[in-house]
Amino acid sequence: MQIESLKVFCDLAETESFTKSALINHVTQSAVSQQISSLERTFKSLLIERSKKKFRLTREGQVLYEYSKQMIQTYDSLFHKLQEVKDIISGTIRVSTIYSVGLHDLPPYLKKFLKAYPTVNVHIEYRRSNQVYDDVLGNIVDLGLVAYPAQDTKLEIVPLRKDMLVLICHPQHPFAKNKSVRLKAIDGQKFISFEPDIPTRRATDKILKDQNITVQHAMEFDNIETVKRAVEIDAGIAIVPQGTITQEVSKHTLAEVRIEDAEFYRPLAAIYKKNKVLSPAMKQFLRVLKGPEK
């Protein structure tokens, strides 16, 4: 019996999916089934109830999961501690990030990290916010990068920084001639929005509701790039993170307007699963993310 088999079993117990467990461990579903069968023969116990449609561990399976989890954490701690003793920063970091952070906020920090630690491979996945949480909780990735981090007892949250939100419009829009506008000015305007389940949309909706402001949601999208394209064709105005529009403002395809009587900021954070043993590379990656770009 190897530690890898116990890890596969723990991943299966947590994801309740042979497909996801196989994906996490870079093996086939058949290999997962074979390793579970091997564990059952070793312990002479049924570990998973296969007679029901819903995934469920047996009592023996639950005991094996609890002890295996401790063993894997101890093994990971030992492995990473030996890396620290040898001053080794290497390996792979799997990151799931929302589009706006991954495309605009992350690149300078990633460049700085890779320059300092060239032997580390950072694999980036661009996902919707809810999918980032699923990836982290399902052990598919090591770290997640999100805005407006949701509190969860299964997650550790590492605050990074606050991102200013600004109003954007077409360069020929009446707002474009102003450096700033009052929030009340957008009442009744056509608005390009994120989809309702996107955290930035929920936060913006709350601010507008608190100020008794109503907008016309002309279009709704799930990512920042499409929102910007819609504003560029003058389909409406939008409120977006300032760091995501630098290129468009410099090319004069979008106009940036500050909001006078309100400070819009969205908090950014890194998340990882509670009790996860961070490798030296992951610790250094988080250190770089929390620091200045240069």
DSSP string, 78-138: HHHHHHHHTT---EEEEEEEEHHIIIIIHHHHHHHHHHH-TTEEEEEEEE-HHHHHHHHHT
Last-in-domain residue among 64, 85, 106: 85
Q: What is the mean pLDDT of residues 230-235?
A: 96
Structure tokens at 53: 């449609």
Residue 53 sits in the same domain as residue 78? yes
Residue 145 sits in the same domain as residue 285? yes
Specify the CATH number for the domain of residue 236. 3.40.190.290
Q: What pLDDT shows up at residue 80?
A: 73
Domain that holds residue 151: 91-161+267-290
Q: How many domains does the chain have?
A: 3
Residue 73 sits in the same domain as residue 219? no
**What is the amino acid identity at position 196?**
P
Are 192 and 235 a contacting pair, CB within 8 Å?
yes
Q: Per-residue pLDDT tens for 125-167?
A: 999 999 999 999 988 899 999 999 999 999 999 999 998 999 9
What is the band of 82 on the pLDDT scale with cuts at 50, 70, 90? Answer: confident
Residue 72 sits in the same domain as residue 186? no
Q: What is the mean pLDDT of the chain?
A: 90
Model confidence at 52: pLDDT above 70: no
The span from the CA of 109 to the CA of 161, in Å, is 13
What is the band of 262 on the pLDDT scale with cuts at 50, 70, 90? Answer: low
Instruction: Look at the alpha carbons of 211, 217, 222, 223 in this order and tell me if their dihedral is positive or negative.
Output: negative
Residue 261 sits in the same domain as residue 273? no
Higher-confidence residue of 84 and 26: namely 26
Last-in-domain residue among 24, 56, 85: 85
